[in-house]
Structure 1
């Protein structure tokens, strides 16, 4: 492990790199599109009271327009 003290510049650089990676990830997800699907069941005493089916499409408007033109 590195026992050298970090400078202020080095400690500030790490969050900036993480921010760039997060922005790249978000940009790629919006460009390609992301589909999230799941189910939620709320039960009491083994009796299902509420069932929720969830399907979410997350993408940019430009991408959806492009896909719509291809159909």
Structure 2
């Protein structure tokens, strides 16, 4: 099984990553960082929660100047 297959299976179900990082000098906590991430895939069949945006009549089709 390749790394890409493993990532595909993990992201299909969703993955939660959590970690703590503490910078300590002489038993005194100076900096503490809590990290939390939720990773998951979204299929193409899931509709976007916003309306598609129409190109502005003042701009070209690519969003640049006419």
Instruction: Compute the TM-score of the two structures, normalised by the length of structure 1.
Output: 0.55
3-state SS of 2:2 partner: helix
> Matched residues in 1 for 2:31 and 2:42: separation?
33
What is the 5 A alignment of 1:19-38?
Answer: 21-38=2-19
Which consecutive unaligned segments of at least 5 residues does structure 2 have?
47-66
Deviations 1:18-52 (A, max 9, x none): xx521110111110111011111101111100011
Which consecutive unaligned segments of at least 5 residues does structure 1 have?
1-19, 66-71
How many corresponding residue pairs?
A: 44
Structure with the bigger percentage of helix: 1
Aligned to 1:53: 34
> Matched residues in 2 for 1:39 and 1:51: separation?
7
Moved over 3 A (4+): none
